[in-house]
Structure 1
């Protein structure tokens, strides 16, 4: 696809010392660049280009007069369940054991490398990260751990159930969800803002039998934990999609709304 608004650079690669592999990523870079550094949106699961169709999302964004930004779609591979998760804390199956390395790849390798050739802003206020499902958990965790780098995180149907204990081992909702505990135990971090999306048909599981599916329950309870430590309504956006499902059809449809929020063009 050609566009008068941007250029697409598919399947770029960078050798990562932290991950011990070559990482593929896609770029969407605006053609009309000002002298000012540009905001950057880092997107997990970039390998799902065909399902998310970010070029179409960006085309509509610019047609509506949206602010210019650089899209960085980071591909994952068969190690997704190891590289995505919560840094320093694996889940009860040992998954997410490379999440800290993935975080270091983005911050210490990918971002500096791109800054050599692209006008990326160095300000956290202009650097954002988002993801879908487990990639959404990863995005939240990376922003949470590094408010000096990122100011906004987008979580689409996030795997916020990520836990340290299985049901069989006596899982307790208030004690064993990893990201909820990180927020509970961590201090308020000024400057961070969060965008959450859930679909009412994300799943059917309701582990505490309260009539609310787990995806929504986990998200709303994480929002409550954020508010308890000092975040306001202005710091958090929650979008619940009636009939929305845990797939790219829903996420693609709601992504323009996220872009408006993250770039403050709403």
Structure 2
């Protein structure tokens, strides 16, 4: 008689967390490996804009990588944005020129003070491995800001087509690149947070080219973030990975195609050399 070995699976469950900081119920999707023994080095990934997980093929990508032993045991918690997304996402304490992002500090408090304790209470196995946060577009900007200012909670951040254009002045009001909020925050930070960075753009993210250098703003702004990080003493490729997707657009299809590369970068299983 032969015993059939079942492949490991990622199981999706839905949760709702009533947030005092956001003053709303936050819907969550949990993606958890089944049949954990309890002695695994369990990792955690938070995803902003969790309402898009189906279009991103999160569960399928995780299953493929996990079944083939490409990634370490990983819990993904996808946080669904609410109607106040344009207020909850941004740079905490620094609304843009239209006043958007005014609740980014409250979102940060929600993640640190409410969500992380809730996750550990829901997942039976202690999460003692790497912790990362990632997001798409404006959710990517929020992920970067959250990790940058809270490296005691996070080890890595992933940004897909991040809204690094986030600025304090309209283009029509004498804007210069010094008006980009996140770049300025990085430059003014006196410490060097203990973080790793994975930044992705698509060559067809947009058409805008405000400085007319024949490079779209999405790429320019991301490359300039990397330049600021290098000034802080981070190194490539040890600390910073830049993934430019040829033909990639500002949409969930492109981000879903890039997601496996990010998961492998952040949570790839380490190979053991043959003896």
Q: TM-score, normalised by structure 2?
A: 0.91
Aligned-residue offset at 1:105 = 0.3
Aligned-residue offset at 1:5 = 1.4
The aligned residue for residue 121 of structure 1 is 127
Alignment match of 1:209 (pick from 212, 223, 242): 212
Where does structure 1 lack aligned partners over 5 or more consecutive residues? none
Alignment match of 2:113 (pick from 108, 114, 117): 108
Deviations 1:107-166 (A, max 9, x none): 1001111211313425xx611000000000010000001000011000000000000011
Root-mean-square deviation over aligned CA pairs: 1.4
The aligned residue for residue 256 of structure 1 is 260
Contact 1:188 1:230 in 2 (8 A): no
1:51-66 mapped onto 2 (5 Å cutoff): 51-65=55-69, 66=71
Per the alignment, in what secondary structure is the counterpart of residue 129 of structure 1? strand
After alignment, is 234-243 or 61-70 more displaced?
61-70
Per the alignment, in what secondary structure is the counterpart of residue 86 of structure 2? helix
Deviations 1:172-201 (A, max 9, x none): 11x110100010111342420100010000
Per the alignment, in what secondary structure is the counterpart of residue 60 of structure 1? helix
Contact 1:114 1:120 in 2 (8 A): no
Alpha-carbon distance in structure 1 between the residues aligned to 2:193 and 2:158: 17
2:202 is aligned with 1:199: yes
2:156 is aligned with 1:155: no
The aligned residue for residue 26 of structure 1 is 29
1:74-113 mapped onto 2 (5 Å cutoff): 74-113=79-118
The aligned residue for residue 69 of structure 1 is 74
The aligned residue for residue 220 of structure 1 is 223
Contact 1:203 1:246 in 2 (8 A): yes
Aligned-residue offset at 1:37 = 5.0
Alpha-carbon distance in structure 2 between the residues aligned to 1:255 and 1:154: 10
1:36-55 mapped onto 2 (5 Å cutoff): 36-55=40-59
Contact 1:147 1:189 in 2 (8 A): no
Contact 1:156 1:197 in 2 (8 A): yes
Per the alignment, in what secondary structure is the counterpart of residue 78 of structure 1? coil
Alignment match of 1:183 (pick from 176, 180, 186): 186
Per the alignment, in what secondary structure is the counterpart of residue 170 of structure 1? coil
After alignment, is 53-62 or 73-82 more displaced?
53-62
The aligned residue for residue 19 of structure 2 is 16
Q: TM-score, normalised by structure 1?
A: 0.94
Residues 89 and 120 (structure 1), Cα distance of their counterparts in 2 relative to 1, 3 Å cut: farther
